[in-house]
Amino acid sequence: MDFDLNAIERNFIENPFPVLKALREESPVHRNPDGSIYLTRYSDVKAVYQAKHMSSDKKQAFGQKFGQTPLYLHHTTSLIFNDPPYHTIVRKLLAAAFTPRKLAEMEPLIERIIDGLLDRLEDAQEFDFIHSYASELPTEIISFMLGVPEEFRPRLRGYSMAILGALDPVVPDDRLQAGNDAVVEFGALLDDLINHRRKNPDAAGEGEVLQTLIFGEFDGKRLTQEELIQNCIFLLNAGHETTTSLVGNALAMLLEHPDQFQKLKDDPGLIGSTIEEVLRFQSPLQIGNRLATEDFEIDGLNIPKGTYIHTSIGGANRDPAIFDNPEQFDVARQPNKHLAFITGIHVCLGATLSRLEGKASIGKLAQRFPNIQATGKAELNPLARFRGYKSLPVRI
């Protein structure tokens, strides 16, 4: 099948699913012209995430893509693009902030923020759902966890779009420049924040994650200032961009499937399975990567050590071998073992938090404004890796 992930165009970004279906059926272990492979079957994607001989270390790939730039420094220092032992150290330090007890403590804050946002929407009546609602809660929550002062919060979304946007398979020069500028500016801001926190270690409450990262130790090691800065940037980006997409994608899907929206309104108890279905059907992160560190075999094909692997999370989540009627959006789907948060040692650390945020955001919205409707065309972010809306005009 003639397809090159490194030369995708707008139509693939808008609607990759017909191509993913064709790949799954005709070329499930698809070789791109650069020698990398693109996997679209659930079993293959899952196997890669669970395999020991797969590396997340992107120093070589990002060296070629970014050169010695701030984007290179950022992405190669954050835990997501590293292997043990460094990955283990950062992950253990972060995990302390994401325990079930810590997250339970966040619930009243989440409810309070959403109630306040919904009050504001009531006054506005017509607004852009992404800007005025979907992005607000995740930004507030992750900023709270890292102690980012209010006056800086409006800038976070621009930074994360610029930094994460540079991870797309095809990146124009102006986007690279914007990404590099964002790392420098955001890094300077965090440098100040961390220094301030070092001098005031007892400022508990807000910013607890920052506290843990600065002063926490694992195996006798503390993070350096650079490691702290880059991992905080990553956490801030990971903490809100994908969750914004989850909330935006959820409303877009419910508006596109009014029968399913009605089902949720009739039975609010379906909110949990609705959020899982959105995660499956419109996964906020569509594509992942790994590097094979040993020769291995997939579907009878030999994949040599050193092969770069792209995993299609979006393709795996619509594999008919696992999901009945996979192209159907079904808010009551059970079971739903999607891979939106992947599996294995890099499984998303924020999965429980974003589920909480998604359920509260959409559940409360559907109750309070059941007649919400689109007033114009929704516009997707022009990215293949991250699937989410840039704007979604609505009226309540």
Q: Which residue is nearest to ligand HEM (CB)?
A: 350
| Nearest distance in Å: CB 232, ligand HEM | 11
Tell me whether residue 162 or residue 167 sits nearer to ligand HEM (CB atom).
167
List 73, 291, 340, 384, residue binding ligand HEM (CB under 6 A): 340
- The answer to whether the beta carbons of residues 330 and 264 sit under 8 Å apart is no
- Report the residue from 182, 353, 362, 394 that binds ligand HEM according to the rule CB under 6 A: 353
Stretch that binds ligand HEM, among 9-17, 112-120, 153-161, 240-248 (CB under 6 A): 240-248
Q: Contact, 253 vs 282, CB < 8 A?
A: yes
- For position 389 contacting ligand HEM by CB under 6 A, the verdict is no
User: What dihedral angle (degrees, nearest 10) is formed by the CA atoms of 386, 352, 340, 71?
Assistant: 40
Report the residue number, 28 or 314, with the smaller CB distance to ligand HEM: 314
Which of 165, 207, 350, 363: binder of ligand HEM (CB under 6 A)?
Answer: 350
- Give residue 12's Cα distance to chain centre: 19
Distance in Å, CB of 98 to ligand HEM, minimum: 7
Please, which of residues 275-304 interact with ligand HEM by CB under 6 A? Answer: 284-285, 288
Shortest Å distance, C-beta 125 to ligand HEM: 28
Q: Are 319 and 263 within 8 A, CB to CB?
A: no
By CB under 6 A, residue 242 contacts ligand HEM: yes
| Complex with ligand HEM: residue 361 or 371, whichever CB lies closer | 361
Nearest-approach distance from CB 349 to ligand HEM, in angstroms: 4
* Binding of residue 80 to ligand HEM (CB under 6 A): yes
Q: How far, in Å, CA of 42 to CA of 355, rounded?
A: 22
| Among candidate residues 37, 40, 47, the one with its CA nearest the CA of residue 16 | 40
d(CA 96, CA 214): 13
Q: What distance in Å separates the CA atoms of residue 4 and residue 34, rounded to the nearest whole number?
A: 9
Q: Using the rule CB under 6 A, give the single segment among 150-158, 212-220, 254-262, 345-353 that binds ligand HEM.
A: 345-353
- Asked whether position 348 contacts ligand HEM by CB under 6 A, the answer is yes
Per-residue CA distances from 153 to 138, 202, 269, 356 (Å): 11, 23, 33, 21
176 binds ligand HEM (CB under 6 A): no
Q: Rounded CA gap, 110 and 140, in Å?
A: 9
* Tokens linked to 365: 């919205």
Q: ∠126-131-133 over CA atoms, to 5°?
A: 75
Q: Could you tell me which stretch among 188-196, 253-261, 266-274, 336-344 binds ligand HEM (CB under 6 A)?
A: 336-344
Please identify, among the stretches 38-46, 191-199, 211-219, 335-343, the one whose residues bind ligand HEM according to the rule CB under 6 A.
Answer: 335-343
Phi, psi dihedrals of residue 302, rounded to the nearest 5°: -85, 125
Binding to ligand HEM by residue 342, rule CB under 6 A? yes
The answer to the question of residue 164 lying near ligand HEM (CB under 6 A) is no
- State the helix-helix crossing angle for 208-215 and 173-199, rounded to 10 degrees: 80
Q: How far apart are the first and last CA of the chain?
A: 45
Cα 287 to Cα 16: distance, rounded to the nearest angstrom:
11
Q: Please report the sign of the dihedral spanned by the C-alpha atoms of residue 80, residue 85, residue 88, residue 94.
A: negative
Of 3-11, 218-226, 238-246, 362-370, the window that binds ligand HEM (rule: CB under 6 A) is: 238-246
The residue ranges that bind ligand HEM (CB under 6 A) are: 56, 79-80, 91, 94, 142, 235, 238-239, 242-243, 246, 284-285, 288, 340-342, 346, 348-350, 353-354
